[in-house]
Structure 1
Amino acid sequence: MNHKKILCLSLLAALISAASAQAFAVLDAKEIARLGSDLTPVGAEKAASADGKIPAWTGGLTSAPAGFDSSKDYIDPYASEQPLYTITAANMAQYKAELTPGYQAMLQKYPTYKMLVYPSHRSAALPSSEYAQIRKEAATVSLAGNGNGLLDYQRTSVPFPIPKTGLEAIYNHVVRYRAGGYHYYPTEMVVQANGKFTPVRRDVTVAMASAMGNPEPNRLYYYLGKVTSPESVAGSQNLVHEPIDQTSEQRLAWTYNPGQRRVLRAPEISYDSPVATSEGLRTNDMIDMFNGAPDRYDWKLLGKQQMLVPYNTYKLAAHALKYSDIIQPDHLNQDLIRYEPHRVWVVEATLKPGQRHIYGKRVFYIDEDSWGILAADLYDGRGELWRVQEAHSLQRYDVLSAIHISDVSYDLQARRYIVSGLENEEKRAQFGIQANLKDFSTSALRRSGR
């Protein structure tokens, strides 16, 4: 090889290295100074939108309304408000600029589908200690060299308050604040075209590794979930130790089969393998809108856009509702879902050449204030819109976290859908739980099965 060619290759390698370093660089002092100034402490635009539809952020909803009882429902602070307008197939063209392709498809496909749009309230807020940690780690945390992990990560809930890449925005969603951990009773329903459904109930504990005294290295959270009904699947359990970087260390997962009374490793609980009780309507990486290793996709940050998204959905969380009040043929009862205009980060994930996944492309819409994914459009290998996801978000003002209460995925091709996380007929979730590593051991899984 001649010297000129060697020099060219060396320069190319240097350019690639510099570009990689720039792509994964931490924030500088000037950027960090913007947090709490023109940007909120989590990196959202503090100012109102130019058209006035989105108000300025003034701190979010940090205290409970009068009369709130933590053992009962959340009080809806916006219960007296009426919809500003209703979007249907007849008038959707007027609002097309603020509608995701998924919502446009739902309006066109189902005559009874509608979207009730209310005034926007930027209610998302975190504890002040979280804001301090975000600012501290913004100066040190970065993406790993392959983009599939975090370097110098401690416990920040927003590692990239000013994201430069799609992966950075996705990691903000994956590690967002969850009040240290929670114990809840989510219900999953596969809804047939005629509206029939059978609730699958679970008892689930999730603990963030950063909130535990003895977490293992490279751990994001621990999960233990048990199916409690119906009888045909009751007793089956999953245990997950979630790595931060799943390309250097694969997700650690185990199942307990009540028929065999055995604990088995379950490497298939990842990527596009279907959730066992979902009848193929939900892949494992659709849980929480997106989770797990991002390495099968190329991620692109398309920028920020003003969109209509589910927000402050307190009405849907009411325990006075029965599941039969919520579940309808083709879609949820849209009278119970509140939509508001908000700014969202738009992230496009395209399947890498040579990789396998049932979704050839996914587009995520991430709330700038909470960093939660609020909507997603999922495309098949032919490039056709296949499934439409939405998450039902509200500010849990008692623990200062905007963890969504449920999410739904509509299959446009099968005319069925699956809703997960509803607790209307269950006990109320507990947040800020105290957990220990031994609570998430295979021995604990085996004992729980017996």
Structure 2
Amino acid sequence: MKTTKMICLTAMGSMLSVLSAMALAQASAADVARLGQDLTPFGAQMSGNASGTIPAWTGGLTQAPPGYVAGKSYGDPYANDKPLYTITAANMGQYADQLTAGYKAMLQKFPDYKMLVYPTHRSVALPASEYAQIKQEAGKVVLNDSGSGMANYEKTSVPFPIPTKPQELLYNHLARYRQGSYQYFPTEMVVKPGGSYTVIHRDATLAMASALGNPEPNRLYYYLLKVTGPDSVAGQQTLLHEPMDQVKEARLAWQYNPGQRRVMRAPELGYDSFDGLSDGLRTYDMYDMYSGASDRYDWKLDGKKEMLVAYNTYKLADRSLQYSEIVKPEHLNQDLIRYEMHRVWVVEGTLKPGARHIYGKRTLYIDEDSWAILATDLFDGRGELWRMQEAHSLQRFDVLSSIAISDVAYDLQSRSYVVNGLANQERAERFGVHTTLQDFSPAALRRAGN
């Protein structure tokens, strides 16, 4: 009798768990009809704000400006805009509620640092097919119990268009639309306090697992990075298989060492281990503003706020610019960076008791339109602001995808910084490149090194 009762209770518990998950899906599905109505097709608030500083979304930027030539500079569709105002250390108090802790610190620390604020343009637009996919999966995708993975996910770029939990925001950032796959040529520069730097040239390919047609279980994307110059570091390669649930399965990573001509597993490429070429300024989970497992932090959703962030940074992407015109001592050339008022989701992560990480707390600012993290504040174990990151967003109107052209991480203590992704003097990126699972195998990594 006791055994039978236990079996019944176990079965009932399992059924309740299933029903609970279904109820969660049904609750979120009730709002699906709002997509394309009071919410944009990707889940942002359709209307503008009361003060008029944030306009309504009217479809985004889907047409190239006059004179655009594919493979050349994007041009600046908002080139005629004039700055509304400039924020400096002298007047930053007027805008304190709209500035991240990182921006406040930069303004206070560097006398020549400024922020040129322009009219806001809600430029994000995706293909109609992607809007349909978002709506099809909305309300079906759910987090697992630990928040470290997703169930019922197929290929949507916005798994949680109406988020209620901080981890849902993280997955929206990780899965955001990037044309399925693309190849690009991002540089990396570690800039010393005096302004000296070396340009590291790289060739990178990212493919979402769903775009490959035959993804392995528990895969979100695949990533291959090759260092092509200078000669002292050329030939180094890194391969990542990014699990959807990195608690269930750790990130799979391999590196090719040209000196040894060997491919080796690299299990340390995660969390707060340092990228070897960043001079200790960037941890692996700072890539793409935040990547990898999230289980070492307790996450809190602080809601949505109107804040100033780098946006529509077409001027910074101009291919007529030399890197010496962009990279300056202590910070980038702020005349080239455009700031706008946008609504961002604020997500705060606090290191769990007993967990290890060099950052005791991190605050992420996630764009409501692109779902990309646009800024982060990184605090040390004493609770003091240590570093800040800024992404430079750009709507790629030719492929209807919003992908940052670069990001920068400033170390407020050492006065050094690392900028990643500038490609002004590099080849043009290629979107929708054909890739297969074999292209991201350790064997392919070995062949490419020979």
Distance 1:19 1:290 in 2: 33
Query: 2:437: which partner in 1?
Result: 437
Q: d(CA) in 2 for partners of 1:164 and 1:225?
A: 34
Equivalence for 1:361: 361
Corresponding residue number in structure 2 for 1:385: 385
Q: Secondary structure at the match of 1:63?
A: coil
Letter in 2 for 1:329: P
Aligned to 2:127: 127
Distance 1:17 1:117 in 2: 49
Runs of 4+ in 1 over 6 A off after TM superposition: 16-20
Shift of 1:139: 2.4
Counterpart AA for 2:168: E
Quote the residue 2:405 is aligned against.
Answer: 405
Query: 1:100 & 1:267 partners in 2: Cα distance?
Result: 34
Aligned equivalent of 2:198: 198
8 Å contact from structure 1 (residues 23, 164) kept in 2: no
Deviation string, structure 1 residues 119-177 (Cα, Å, up to 9, x no partner): 00000011111111111111211001211001010000001111101111111001100
Label 1:187 to 1:241 Cα distance change in 2 as closer, same or farther (>3 A).
Answer: same
Quote the residue 1:107 is aligned against.
Answer: 107
* Superposition map of 1:170-185 within 5 A: 170-185=170-185
Hey, what's the Cα distance between the residues in 1 that align with 2:349 and 2:24? 18
Aligned-CA RMSD value:
1.8
How far apart in 2 are the matches of 1:246 and 1:445?
23
Contact 1:311 1:340 in 2 (8 A): yes
Corresponding position of 1:315: 315
Distance 2:346 2:140 in 1: 25
Find the residue that maps to 1:315 and give its secondary structure.
Answer: coil
Distance (whole Å) between structure 1 residues aligned to residue 281 and residue 36 of structure 2: 41
2:412 & 2:25 partners in 1: Cα distance?
40
Partners of 1:224 and 1:430 in 2: how far apart?
A: 15
CA contact (8 A) 1:166 1:301 kept: yes
Match of 1:4 in 2: none
Q: Distance in 1 between matches of 2:206 and 2:157?
A: 16
Supply the distance in 1 between the matched residues of 2:337 and 2:229 (Cα, whole angstroms): 27
Question: Does structure 2 retain, via aligned residues, the 8 Å contact 1:27–1:138?
Answer: no
Matched, 1:251 2:255: no
Q: How does 1:194-273 map to 2 (within 5 A)?
A: 194-273=194-273
**Cα distance 1:304–1:352, how it changes in 2: closer, same or farther (>3 A)?**
same
Amino acid at match of 2:433: I
SS of the aligned residue for 2:67 comes to coil
Q: Could you tell me how far apart the structure 2 residues matched to 1:96 and 1:379 are?
A: 19
> Which secondary structure state, in structure 2, belongs to the residue aligned with residue 317 of structure 1?
coil
Deviation per CA, 1:310-331: give whole Å up to 9, x if none: 0000000011111100011110
TM-score by length of 2: 0.95
Is contact 2:28-2:162 (8 Å) kept? no
The answer for the alignment partner of 1:287 in structure 2 is 287
Q: 1:26 to 1:378 in 2, by over 3 A?
A: farther
Report the residue type matching 2:358 in the other structure.
Answer: I
Q: Which position in structure 1 is the counterpart of 2:6?
A: none
Identify the residue that residue 51 of structure 2 maps to in structure 1.
51
Instruction: Give deviations 1:26-85, integer Å, cap 9, x for gaps.
Output: 643431111111111111110010110000000101121233211211021001111111
Q: In structure 2, how many angstroms separate the alpha carbons of the residues matched to 1:141 and 1:18? A: 14
Q: How far, CA to CA, are the matches of 1:155 and 1:167 in structure 2? A: 18
* 1:242-271 Cα deviation digits (max 9, x unpaired): 111111111111000001100000011111
**Alignment-mate amino acid for residue 186 of structure 1:** P
Q: Which amino acid aligns with 2:64?
A: A
Aligned residues: 438
Distance in 1 of aligned mates of 2:306 and 2:201? 36
Q: State whether residues 21 and 142 of structure 2, in contact with CA within 8 Å, keep that contact through their aligned partners in structure 1.
A: no
Q: Distance in 1 between matches of 2:27 and 2:295?
A: 24
Q: CA 1:279 to 1:293, structure 2 compared with 1: closer, same or farther past 3 Å?
A: same
- Please state whether the residue corresponding to 2:222 is helix, strand or coil: strand
Query: In the alignment, what sits opposite 1:169?
Result: 169
1:33-182 equivalences under 5 Å are 33-182=33-182
Structure-2 change in CA distance of 1:20 and 1:28 (3 Å): closer
Q: Percent identity?
A: 66
CA distance in 1, matches of 2:429, 2:25: 38
Rate the CA distance shift 1:29–1:248 in 2: closer, same or farther, 3 A: closer
**Which has the higher mean CA deviation after the structures are superposed, 187-196 or 71-80?**
71-80
Determine helix, strand or coil for the equivalent of 1:104: helix
Distance 2:333 2:345 in 1: 27
The 1:167/1:26 distance shift into structure 2, 3 A limit, reads farther
Match of 2:325 in 1: 325
| Distance change (3 Å), C-alpha of 1:20 and 1:110 | farther
TM-score, normalization: structure 1? 0.95
Q: Which amino acid in 1 is paired with 2:380?
A: D
Distance 1:429 1:380 in 2: 36
Alpha carbons 1:241, 1:253 under 8 Å: kept: yes
Does the 8 Å CA contact 1:275/1:282 hold for their aligned counterparts?
A: yes
Distance in 1, Cα, partners of 2:45 & 2:188: 35
Asked whether the 8 Å contact 1:24–1:144 carries over to 2, the reply is no
- Cα distance in 2, alignment partners of residues 164 and 379 from structure 1: 25
Structure 2 residue runs of 5 or longer lacking an equivalent are 1-9
Equivalent residue of 1:140, what SS? Answer: coil
CA separation of 1:79/1:111 partners in 2, compared to 1, >3 Å: closer, same or farther? Answer: same
Amino acid at match of 2:377: D
Q: In the alignment, residue 244 of structure 1 is paired with which amino acid?
A: M
Q: Aligned partners of 2:139 and 2:338: how far apart in 1? A: 37
Residues 137, 448 of structure 1: CA spacing in aligned structure 2 closer, same or farther, 3 A cutoff? same
Q: Deviations over 1:390-413 (max 9, x none)?
A: 000010001111110000000001
1:352-389 Cα offsets, whole Å, 9 max, x none, are 11111100100000000000000000000000000010
